A and B are shown apart, each in its own frame.
Chain A
Amino acid sequence: MSRLIRTITLLVIACGPFATGAAQDISRDDMRSLDGQVQEIKSDVLSIASDLSNLEERLLYPSNTQVALFVAVEEDEDFRLDAVKIEINGELATHHIYSFKELEALQKGGVQRIYTGNVATGDHQLSVTMIGKLKNGTEFNKTDEFSFAKGVEPKALGITLAGPGLGKSGIQVGDW
């Protein structure tokens, strides 16, 4: 019996589970063909998603009223962003609490579209509050007010956030 058991042992080390005879009932061609079809449907759904986004944008945020706000963060190891709150003309537009993954994506250079909405052409007030923690555990909270002019074309504003240690204004807003 020991010889039989040992042979089994060696086989278990040598072969992956897919090498078992029973699993060969499904051919590699079948798998490949199915994989190809899955890739095709992914492509089709991506195309639908793109068309749907365009439709949504036209329907919900026409260009003459569209305003989009984007958030980026400056690299700063001494500051951890926890949340952002944004008001337009004194009304809450959005607030966002960051997950670890989201924060990491921002720190790597990603840009978050935090809000898309509609405002009339003309001048508007923007209030940005960032809430976070410093490396020593102290809470950090900062609010800045900005004004921006909305023209007839879609407006995209980039909000760049930085901790207090970088020596610049913590919140900067600029046109993109």
Chain B
Amino acid sequence: MYRAPLSGIGLLLLASLASSPVHSEELKDLYFGEALYYAYQGHYFEALERLDTEVSQHNGLDEPELDTLTYHMDDAEFSLGDFELRYRMHHRAGRAITAVLEGAVDEVVRNDAAYRLARIHFQKGQMEDALLALERINGKIPESIREDIEFLRANVYLAQEKPAESFEVLKRLQGSKSFGGFAAYNLGIAYLQDGQREQAIEQLDRAGQIATNDPAELAIRDKANLVLGTILLEDGNYDSAMPYLNRVRLDGPFSNQALLSAGWASLSTENYERALVPWSILAEREVTDAATQEAMLALPYAYGKLDVHGRAALHYGQALDAFGTEVGKLNESIESIREGRFLEALVREEIRKDKDWVIHLRSLPETPETYYLMELLATHDFQTGLQNYLDLADLRKKLVGWQSSFDSFDDMVDIRHDHYEPLLPDVDTKFRELDSRLRLRREQHKMLVRRRDDLLTTPRPEFLATREELQVLARIEHIETQLEGASTPFEGALVQRTQRLKGLLTWTLETEYHERLTAFDQNLKQLDEAMTVAQTQYDAFVRSRQAATHSFEGYETPISRLRARVSEAIQRVDLLMKRQGRQLEIVAIDELMARRGRLENYRDKARFALADSYDRATQAQARSEVQ
């Protein structure tokens, strides 16, 4: 019958999951950093999308070891699993983390992965698998998760109903900063599960006295006291239960229940006046709370026991009115849920901006359907369903946004096509001209380089003659030819003069040869530079030409495919939202109907008790008048 321990486990695991992803290494890859930026803000969809793309691109590289992601690869693969887990994609997360676990990774990373895998199995209710994953942890364990592992191990044992095996683990965690309070409470529950009532009471007593300022630990301390008080109340030890119930803080989450139980403990020992104190406080609190409603009925009951029937009748009357109003509100809520307003309220943006948005649902105007669902909203199964619904709503919003962008893409491609298409034939003609001229220049350049190289091995001064010198040389050679066949009196003198001229030219060419070769080489180097510039411009032109084509060609198929995929995804999301929403509505309506049933029962009791109190009050008055 006693099921409080399991809800405790849920609470504690949630607390341990609430931590952020941690990456301590120096960042070397911007895109990995970008994924972390989103993850740290809780935007796991965006984080996953970035990291998934980055890891896929990295794996597709010819030389991935040159990519900066290589430095973070283990961490990146691990983070993928982590983000998937946080985005409630347990199936994929399990696969990703198993891949890390089975890869050749560092011991610390492997142990971290094993812990996370165990956590996934635990969340999915697969306790055997969770334990198997925990057993894979050995060697060096990251300090940051050492206690998390032990706490999870204890929770798995408790969930498997093997409390005895959790004793040692929980005892070791008693001094833990992060888990001390939770471990103290869970140890008490473990004893209780194991049937060791005395130890359970002692342990819960200790858990109910821990010194802390942490809100979560304060809450668990209250819970320990409430559970202990309730156990003693069940055993009929009413007086013993009181101190524990009194330890529960008046402003904590368990105060209503504690006040109610404290009243019953006093009533059970026929200490009716003492019962009035907690119930009077409780009856003034939030009327939608089940404990408050019960106190509204219990308070006049206690007055009745004290023979203060007039006041009892007054309070029964107030309770009757309140129950009537609340039944009306519940009817409205049920109707409102049936009309789909509950789901509308859940996806309201302003509510979800706050991490405590579930609590604010209660104060949301015009949403009576949320008043009575606070307890339901806190349960794991309902939370999963609710989160799924919200995730689907987010996906839908994204998909609809993308869908509208396809038309813009089409327009963009059309505009580019219309702009470039008429220009390209002219551009291509000019390009062909440029291309042939550049080819010619390249050939000339190559020839000059060859000549320079030849000159370096076989000097040929005449090759470096200027145009003028070449003309002079040709003229001399022509004169020489003429003189060879001529017979004139001056022939000898002319030959001599020609030879002298030729000699002078040869002298110049020979003596200036090295200087000229150096100048030739320098000019060639300058030409090399000019050729490089020309080639760069040529390449840039080619790229621009290609870019012009690429800016409008080859998009039709991917755009239409993506458009179809998005449209199909919207249909699937709509269907799933409908089913998920329906599930939530059914569960919510069931819960509200159960609350309404209870309230109607209370109302009937209040009605009869009111009549009875009036009768008794009237009789008492008559008696006093007679006296």
Dominant SS at the A interface? helix
> Once the chains bind, are A22 and B594 in contact (CB under 8 Å)?
yes
Inter-chain CA distance A176–B42, complex, in Å, is 26
Inter-chain CA distance A159–B147, complex, in Å, is 38
Choose from A1, A39, A49, A112 the contact partner of B301 (Cβ within 8 Å).
A1
Q: A30-B583, A111-B37 are in contact. Are A48 and B566 (CB under 8 A)?
A: yes
- Give 1 or 0 for each of B126-140: 1 = CB within 8 Å of chain A CB: 000000000000000
Interface size on B, residues (CB 8 A): 93
Inter-chain CA distance A9–B40, complex, in Å, is 42
> Once the chains bind, are B48 and A55 in contact (CB under 8 Å)?
no
Choose from B1, B294, B572 the contact partner of A41 (Cβ within 8 Å).
B572
> Once the chains bind, are B379 and A17 in contact (CB under 8 Å)?
yes
Closest to A55 in B: B558
Q: A1-B605, A42-B87 are in contact. Are A55 and B559 (CB under 8 A)?
A: yes
Q: At the interface, yes or no: B527 with Cβ under 8 Å from chain A?
A: no
> Once the chains bind, are B36 and A110 in contact (CB under 8 Å)?
yes
Q: At the interface, yes or no: B308 with Cβ under 8 Å from chain A?
A: no
- Give 1 or 0 for each of A15-50: 1 = CB within 8 Å of chain B CB: 111111111011010110011111101111110111
> Once the chains bind, are A31 and B385 in contact (CB under 8 Å)?
yes
> Once the chains bind, are A70 and B33 in contact (CB under 8 Å)?
yes
Question: In the complex, what residues of A have CB within 8 A of residue B233's CB?
Answer: 10
Question: In the complex, what residues of B have CB within 8 A of residue A16's CB?
Answer: 3, 7, 375, 379
Stretch at the interface among B151-159, B260-268, B458-466: B260-268
> Once the chains bind, are B92 and A39 in contact (CB under 8 Å)?
yes
Q: At the interface, yes or no: A92 with Cβ under 8 Å from chain B?
A: no
CB distance from B409 to the nearest CB of A (A): 6
- Give 1 or 0 for each of B566-592: 1 = CB within 8 Å of chain A CB: 100100110010011001001100110
Stretch at the interface among B319-327, B359-367, B390-398, B505-513: B390-398
Interface centre among A12, A23, A113, A152 (most CB of B within 10 A): A23
CB distance from B252 to the nearest CB of A (A): 15
> Once the chains bind, are A14 and B49 in contact (CB under 8 Å)?
no
Q: A41-B392, A54-B53, A59-B412 are in contact. Are A36 and B91 (CB under 8 A)?
A: yes
Closest to A12 in B: B290
> Once the chains bind, are A105 and B37 in contact (CB under 8 Å)?
yes
Among B369-384, those with CB < 8 Å from A are 375-376, 378-382, 384
Q: At the interface, yes or no: A123 with Cβ under 8 Å from chain B?
A: no
> Once the chains bind, are A109 and B257 in contact (CB under 8 Å)?
no
> Once the chains bind, are A113 and B562 in contact (CB under 8 Å)?
no
CB distance from B398 to the nearest CB of A (A): 7
Q: A41-B572, A108-B36, A111-B36 are in contact. Are A64 and B547 (CB under 8 A)?
A: yes
Q: At the interface, yes or no: A2 with Cβ under 8 Å from chain B?
A: yes
CB distance from A102 to the nearest CB of B (A): 7
Question: In the complex, what residues of A have CB within 8 A of residue B189's CB?
Answer: none
> Once the chains bind, are B40 and A105 in contact (CB under 8 Å)?
yes
Inter-chain CA distance A85–B280, complex, in Å, is 60
> Once the chains bind, are A20 and B267 in contact (CB under 8 Å)?
no
List 4 additional A-B contacts (Cβ < 8 Å) besides A2-B267, A38-B88, A53-B53.
A1-B301, A13-B261, A31-B381, A55-B409
Q: Can you spell out 23 A-B residue pairs with CB atoms less than 8 angstroms apart?
A: A5-B301, A10-B233, A12-B257, A17-B375, A23-B590, A23-B591, A25-B586, A34-B385, A38-B576, A39-B92, A42-B391, A48-B569, A50-B53, A54-B53, A55-B555, A59-B551, A64-B543, A72-B27, A108-B36, A108-B40, A109-B36, A110-B37, A111-B33
Chain A residues in contact with chain B, CB under 8 A? 1-2, 5-6, 8-10, 12-23, 25-26, 28, 30-31, 34-39, 41-46, 48-55, 58-59, 62, 64-65, 70, 72, 101-102, 104-106, 108-113, 121, 152, 156, 158, 176
